[in-house]
Chains A and B, each alone.
Chain A
Amino acid sequence: MSVTRGDIDDSTSRPRGSWARGLCLALATAGLAGKAGANTSGGMNLPVGVTSLSQNIYALHMQVFWTCVVIAVLVFGVMIYALVKFRHSQGAIPDTTMLHSTKVEIIWTIIPVLILVGLAIPAARGILFMEDMRNSQLSVRVTAYQWKWQYQYMGAAKGINFFSTLARSSNFARQLHSGIDPKTVPNYLLDVDNPLVIPSGTKVRLLLTSQDVIHAWWVPDFGAKRSAIPGFVNELWFTVDPGKEGVYRGQCAALCGRDHGFMPIVVDVRTPDDFKKWVEEQKAAVKQASTHAGDEPRSAQLLPGQSLPH
């Protein structure tokens, strides 16, 4: 394992404590985590993330995880006890009268049902929270293509429209036999030319669709994943906590052909003021582009003849 962790730019701003939780996860379940502390800037567990959605999901995840750990310890404990205690080689005599017991069978049917109800209630609450698309403050139409994303802003930022594709440095390095060591490429496979820019503290709604095959838009730190399906418009929302401005990265999550592994998602979260500034810049660039045909602004390429959503 030659990778050294120091040279990786951990710009996903995952809380530093996540490796410790990852360590617990590993130790608790398989004892495979001997090396864990040394190598997990990427983490071994879900990110807590920077939205109420991702934090909600993280809490549910840990709740069901620890429930499973407790059940596993109890059930595996009984199994191991039986394996040790009732060995033929230790002279164990089988009790062939032990055929069934309606009482214990009812007990070990009811208890799991109760545990599951206990898990289902907060999960159901989570679903209702997640599906509440009302009162969004910024909507962006996201269109997936093989193999890039198009972002079209709606509402006040209407007119901003650009494509987002894998950064050139990653694209060179990822070619078969490129000879470029991925470790030397900053944010290898997780960098794009034009990131989606959004304001923090704002309920952002994405409207997802696809022009060809099924893709899925996913940023783990937002707890946001939804398929982009041709002929459908799917919705998702998130609100990045104020103070958590920064760059967040994700990848296409649905097999979409040859370059499925090479259409990352990068979201640049700015303060509402900075975002407003960015919108003005982009709008000016769009205006300039329409008056000086052929003089394309770098990050605002309107497709000829394309109408913007309302």
Chain B
Amino acid sequence: MSSVATSTTPAAAGRSGGLLARLGRINWGRKTVIGIPYVFLVLFFSLPFLVVLKISVSEPDGVGFKDLIDFTDGTLTLRLKLANYQFLGTDPLYLKTYVSSVMYAAGNALICLFIGYPFAYFMTRARPTMRPILVMLVSLPFWTSYLLRIYAWKGLLDDNGVVNNFLLWAHIIDTPVKMMYTSFSMMIGMVYTYLPFMILPLYGTLVKADPRLLEAAGDLGTTPWKAFWLITVPLSKAGIIAGTMLVFIPSVGEYVIPELLGGPQTLMIARILWNEYFQNVDWPMASAVAVIMVVLILLPLVLLNRYQNVEGRAEGAAARRGAAA
């Protein structure tokens, strides 16, 4: 189970022929360890997605779907109904929804970064004995059901809710302010839910920073403000990227928050998918929406992966050059 010498010897390798002998030499332990989770995920993750792909180009036929491949009278016909994709690609509402999902997600990530980075930074500046408590206080909302916490905002922002009641009681306003079912309420919900996901990785990176680097900078004549931007921030790049990805990517496909706190103006792609399936019972359309969503998400991920690989390779090459010198 470790990458240790296999049971093949240099002398005997490849010489004994029989199938049984060859079977005996395969590292079964290794294959099982990789195999079990692999098979599970292929079966229950990839295969289902292929089904989605297939249904997205299928023609409904009563309860089921017409076959894609048809072999009659010696002719092989492949029938792919691309009408759904055509529609999604040209319909202004769908295009607008895709764009708006990404915009909301990006906005969420930026706000979380803007609030979360200083938050994490100040956490690291606290006394070492205080820090575990501060981390615990951020973790608590993280572990509490997000559904319940979103529901709390319903109570707060409702026309008859806590905020309005307070403002009325304090005579700051005369009639309730409409805050629910707007972009505002949805964004508050998004930021509220995802803030811990930004703070915790940022804290993890910032707390590992070497304070001596800042001391050296000060020694060389840098003001604390400049040192922050020239040293602290660039070194926390990994944490920033991790936090941003952790917030942005799930936000694009978020369903519950737009549904509970958003309104007809807040177009999010996940709601469209949900409605296509549950309300319109249009499985092919829902599937097509799903496929395009996946493509939209995969593309930035592949780019991010490539960026990380390039960075990793560059760092590796530099390290090797240093070691050889």
Query: Is A bound to B?
Result: no
Q: State the A residues within 8 Å of B (CB).
A: none
Q: State the B residues within 8 Å of A (CB).
A: none
